[in-house]
Amino acid sequence: MSNTSRQSTLSSESPARAGGEGTNQQPNLKPVQVKLVLLGEAAVGKSSLVLRFVNNEFQENKEPTIGAAFLTQKCRLEDKVIKFEIWDTAGQERFHSLAPMYYRNAQAAVVVYDVTKAASLDKAKSWVKELQRQANPNIVIALAGNKIDLVQPIEESEDESTESGRQVPTEEAKAYANEFGLLFFETSAKKGDGVRDVFTEIGMNDLIKI
Amino acid sequence: MKESLNGKLQLSEGYLAFVADDAKSCNFVLPLYTVRRVERINSGTHNFALSILNWHQMKLILQINGHKVTFEKFCNTIRDNLKNQVRYMKNLRSFLSTCFSEALLVDPKKDISTGGLGLIFGFPGDVKKLRDRYKTKLWIEYLQTNGRNLTLVKVPYFSKLVRVGLPNKLRGEIWELCSGAIFLRFVNDGMYEKLQKDNAGKVSLSTEEIEKDLNRSLPEYPAYQTKEGINTLRRVLTAYSWKDPELGYCQAMNIVASAILIYMSEEQAFWTLSVLCDRLIPGYYSTSMYGAILDQIIFEHYVQNKMPLLYEHFQNVDVQLSVACLPWFLSLYINSMPLLFAFRVLDCFFMEGPRVLFQIGLEIFLINSAILKINGDELLTITDDGQFIHVLKKYFSTLDQPAHPNNKNQKIREITKFNELMMVAFKEFSNITTESVIELRKTHQFKVIHNIESFTKRGQIRNLKDTSKFSKNDISIIYDKFYNAQFYGKQKSVRNDSRMDLNTFYRFLGSISSWAKLDDENLTKENGSPRDNQGRRLVGYEFIHKLFIHFDQSQSGGLTLQDVICGLGKIIFGDLMSRIELFFNLHDSDLDGYLFKEEILQMSESFLFIFRNRNDDGHLGSVSNFIRNAFEYTDSHNLRMSLPSFRMVVLADGYLEEFFDSGFASSFQFIEPTEERSKGLGREIFNALMSDGMRLAEKFGKRINHAKPKSHIPSSPDQNNSSNSNRNDMTSHVQSLESSNNNAESNYNDSSSLMPRNNSQDSFISVESQKSSKMQRNESPVSFGSDEEDDGLMQEVDRLLSEFSIDENGKKLTFFL
Ligand SMILES: Nc1nc2c(ncn2[C@@H]2O[C@H](COP(=O)(O)OP(=O)(O)OP(=O)(O)O)[C@@H](O)[C@H]2O)c(=O)[nH]1
Ligand SMILES: [Mg+2]
């Protein structure tokens, strides 16, 4: 292990790479800054979602986030460039009281649960409740059910953790999201499914003003 | 070669400790079980001297400046205490075989069997570049001269050796020695294994949480890609969670544990974690993390004090320091800077205590703001969190680069940013002492606790699924009473949730309704039902127990806040009929829909209990009416009464009717008693305050040790160089000594003399230690910490460089980086 191989949790700062659609360097487009926070139970894959979005990679053993990690990503959406400032928070319950520090002033939140863990949706619901009462009143909230790769009956996937079945039916979560006015997605940080949509739809939302 | 130093000597039940007057030229903590021989020396000038020979054949001569009486008392006490410690001696040999320093002095090339994962999987970093061999050699010399492991004496050269980075194989041992964990490990022989054995196969919330993180702890270190490494980490973390179930497991502990396990055996790491959680960074990993939040406030306070400009700027742009700094503190910088550098910070941290976390943090800010004019003024130009984090991130990722790439002087060009950080931090912020950190922790803790408390309260209330028809204010009062009852009823229990048990429920109910206030008679429990000392059943307890079972919807044996709110809500917002039914059901113990004779009698007893404090005559008559009518209405065939009959009986009596119609419901009162408000603290915070209060109390000589939750682990002094952080402990030891000897007047064990005041000591003790002549070499007046002139950074760097580059033998030391 070389002494430079380890960087801070926060250090995967990405260059201004557009969300896959080619770089945008037009000087006349001033990026709109969007402060976004990720919340959700420990190990549901918050950091992995960010890593997928920012670096388009996946790490099997992502270290737990301590406190919170900060990353940025620019991406171009139709006529505007958005610079996401992403706060990826720690999931363990005892870090809960620190969360307001990160979601204060946030314009968007992605509340993540793990489709193979029913309890993680309960936790997500309590985050939504907290955000709707305590955060910026115009906050755009997206609900993301992660790890769908584990429940897709996909051809010979590496047979390790595949036996864990789905515990949160799509319809149930979707109904909940509708009721509470949330954007809804199912994602796989591992395979990449749905990840970009989460961020682009947030970026397109009317509440995210220039 | 002899040298003589003045200082303070402290004797406790298990240890003899010395701190030189200047706090740095020499200090040691000598466990009495390592003492082989003590002799009186009758020298000419000083009549009062003792010569102490320890396990490693080091001879210390103590001259005690004081009255003869004092000296005699000292001798008697040390003799008694030595006797008491003899039992530990038999463990010495096997214990020392787990200390790398022993093997090292016998044969430097020989390896020992126990140690960190690094012995098998390799240590991070390039041994050559780390100058590991050379450093080891210097340590061998040091250990030969100044004792080792349990008997080590610290002279200033010690901290120099630590500051340049510890050699791989010795690192773990020096960490446990500096933190004091080594003494815990010694006196708690076998406890680590016992914890494993006693809890084998058990699961808990903590073990689940640990499981999630095992593969996520320093995953790039080879050991943690193997079963062996993962199992090691699992054992240490779970054992700790069983040792302190209220703390359990906090993310970040996995990072710290996986890092120290590279250099430490499981048992070493386990005890080091204990010292971390209990004393070095108390409350960091607790369920509310109040300690971490507290230290963030203190850190902010320091920034405001030391760098007002920068602080003001952060205020203006509304950036909170802790968004960046909290993770530094929580994972002791391990996850923030490149691993090898983080270990260097840990070296200093274990040696000097938590102040190092602050010093390094401040230094990072100092370097990155214009104040030192080194790295530009980037922090002073940030305008939001994002830029703030970015500047720091960049800094951390370039720590290995030259700090002054354009300097003409080759030596200075060789200084990396990390060197600079380490050098300047301790110089610039030397006045951040362990005492000042502890003092500030005390000052701010109530505010933090209050904030956490009100945050948790808001959250819990928000998450109630059903608030019945209670007003916000009532809910808030019920919440306070709910937790107050638990606060006062604090019992050591394994459950981590905040469910209320029956005993607490008695207290809780008593706090909201006068009829439920029970006298605490001497209770004995017989077949589960409380009896007084005459063996009589206690109706009140039984009735409330019935309510408890009724409230416990999930039959979990404990009530949540939600249970209590629903239960009370049904009573208070119910109606005449529902309350009659409630009483019926409460007393229908076999749930068959009928009250039998015995149950009817119990019902009447319950009435009498509830009415017992009423000053009217009505209730007695009504209850006897009730009994009479009840038996009249019972089914004469099988002597039982149904709910409708019960209703009729109740409604036939105006007094009872009134009770069910309104009296019972209005007997619950939600009034916030002012004096309880401030005490609405969670359990673990209570613990912390408790132990803090204890330390304080110990200082004043009051022993309340029995109240300490963790009293099964004998405390031991830690060995922080500054020696101040262990004062409390030493004091406590001395206190124990006092009480065991009933002759507490003498000066040497007067606790006030142990406090950091430098006047007023009339009983000085000087120490002469007999050491080889090598000793001399190390006595150059070098210290990173505090020095006279403030001659600007460059001169400082130069000065340090010259001090480092040449030792007396002309060997080059330079930087080992
Ligand atoms: N199969 C699968 N595994 C995933 C996915 N996303 C994350 N993981 C794994 O789940 C574990 C946790 O992922 P993290 O991204 O660290 O989770 P987190 O929510 O950031 O966790 P905390 O920082 O502790 O709150 C890691 O081992 C990931 O490799 C996914 O989409 N599919
Ligand atoms: Mg994470």
Confidence of residue B476 (pLDDT cuts 50, 70, 90): confident
Helices B308-316, B290-306: inter-axial angle, 10-degree rounding: 120
What's the predicted TM-score (pTM) here? Answer: 0.72
Per CB-CB distance under 8 Å, the chain B contacts of A5 are 220, 338
Phi, psi (5° rounding) for residue B11? -120, 130
Asked if the structure places residue A19 within a domain, the reply is no
Contact A70 B219 (CB under 8 A): no
Instruction: Please say if the pLDDT value at position A76 is more than 90.
Output: no
Kindly indicate whether the domain formed by B145-280 is annotated with CATH number 3.40.470.10. no
Helix (H, G, I), strand (E, B) or coil at B330: helix
Judging by beta carbons within 10 Å of its beta carbon (0-12, 13-18, 19+), is residue B32 exposed, middle or buried? buried
Atom of ligand 1 nearest to the CA of A41: 25
Assess whether pLDDT exceeds 90 at residue B276: yes
Q: Minimum mean pLDDT among A165-174, B445-454, B702-711: which range?
A: B702-711
Residue A56, domain CATH: 3.40.50.300
Percent of chain B exceeding pLDDT 90 equals: 30
- Ligand 2 center from residue B463 Cα (angstroms): 24
Residue A109 lies in a domain: yes
Counting one residue from A and one from B, how many pairs have CB atoms under 8 Å apart?
136
d(CA B641, CA A134): 54
For B339, the closest of A6, A10, A91 (CB atoms) is A6
* pLDDT band with cut points at 50, 70 and 90 for residue B698: very low
Q: What is the mean pLDDT of chain A?
A: 82
User: For residues B64 and B6, is the Cβ–Cβ distance under 8 A?
Assistant: no
Cβ atoms within 10 Å, residue B199: 17
* Residue B521 alpha carbon to ligand 2 centre in Å: 53
Q: Which atom of ligand 1 is nearest to the CA of A44?
A: 19
Q: Do the domain assignments include residue A122?
A: yes
Question: What CATH number does domain B5-109+727-775 carry, 2.30.29, 2.60.120, 1.10.3210, 2.60.40?
Answer: 2.30.29
| B201-205, B271-275, B592-596, B655-659, range with greatest mean pLDDT | B271-275
Confirm whether A86 is domain-assigned.
yes
Which ligand has the shortest distance to the CA of A160?
1
Q: CA separation (Å) from B224 to B112, B259, B354, B419?
A: 22, 11, 28, 29
Pairing of strands B2-11, B765-770: antiparallel
Residue B51 predicted with pLDDT over 80: yes
pLDDT digits (tens, 9 = 90+) for B393-415: 888 888 888 888 888 888 888 88
Domain assignment present for A81: yes
Kind plus residue range of the DSSP H or E element containing B9: strand B2-11
Residues spanned by the domain of A105:
29-154+164-209
**Average pLDDT along chain B:** 77
B529 forms bridges with which residues in the sheet? B526
B749 phi/psi in degrees, rounded to 5: -115, 25
Chain B interface test: which of A97, A102, A125, A136 (most B C-beta within 10 Å): A97
Domain membership flag for residue A7: no
Of B220, B250, B323, Cβ closest to residue A94: B250
Which residue's entry shows tokens 């030493």? B730
**Alpha-carbon separation of residue A47 from A53, A142, A182, B91, B644 (angstroms):** 10, 16, 21, 48, 62
CA distances from B542 to B68, B133, B138, B531, B660 (A): 66, 73, 72, 10, 20
* B508, B511, B515, B516: CA torsion to nearest 10: 20
Helix (H) or strand (E) holding A26: none
Interface test with chain B among A1, A59, A83, A117, by most B beta carbons within 10 Å: A1
Max Cα separation, chain B? Answer: 112
Q: Is the residue at A87 inside a domain?
A: yes
Question: Per the structure block, which two tokens stand in for B413?
Answer: 């060009």
Cross-chain residue pair B221–A64, CB shorter than 8 Å: no
DSSP conformation class of B69:
H
Contacts of A76 (CB under 8 A, 6+ apart): A18, A19, A21, A22, A24, A29, A82
Dihedral in degrees, nearest 10, Cα atoms A160, A166, A168, A172? 150
At residue B337, φ and ψ (nearest 5 deg) are -115, 165
Question: Which ligand places an atom closest to the C-alpha of A91?
Answer: 1
Q: Which of B411, B434, B418, B414 is nearest to B358 (CA)?
A: B434
In this prediction, residue B241 carries a pLDDT of 95
Most confident of the following: B153-167, B224-238, B639-653: B224-238
Superfamily of domain B290-432: Ypt/Rab-GAP domain of gyp1p, domain 3 (1.10.472.80)
Q: Of the candidates A66, A88, A90, which has an alpha carbon nearest to the alpha carbon of residue B385?
A: A88
Residue B529: CB partners within 8 Å, gap ≥ 6? B537, B538, B541, B542, B545
The answer to whether B425 and B348 have CB atoms below 8 angstroms apart is: no
Domain count, chain A: 1
**Measured from the CB, is residue A114 less than 6 Å from ligand 1?**
no
Tell me if chain A has a CB within 8 Å of the CB of B390: yes
Q: How do residues B534-593 score in pLDDT, each as one tens digit?
A: 555 677 888 888 899 999 988 888 888 899 999 999 999 999 889 999 999 998 888 888
Helix-then-strand count for chain B, H and E: 37, 12
Q: What is the ipTM of this complex?
A: 0.81
d(CA B815, CA B806): 11
Q: Where are the domains of chain B?
A: 5-109+727-775, 145-280, 290-432
Does A97 sit within 8 Å of B293, measured CB to CB? yes
Contact B345, B332 (CB under 8 A): yes
Alpha carbons B104 and A190: distance in angstroms, whole number = 48
Q: Are residues B462 and A130, on separate chains, in Cβ contact within 8 Å?
A: yes
d(CA B12, CA B225): 46
Residue pair B706/B177 in contact by the 8 Å Cβ criterion: no
* Least confident residue range of B173-182, B334-343, B673-682: B673-682
Q: Which two tokens stand for residue B482?
A: 């709910």
Q: What distance in angstroms lies between residue A186's CA and the mean position of ligand 2's atoms?
A: 18
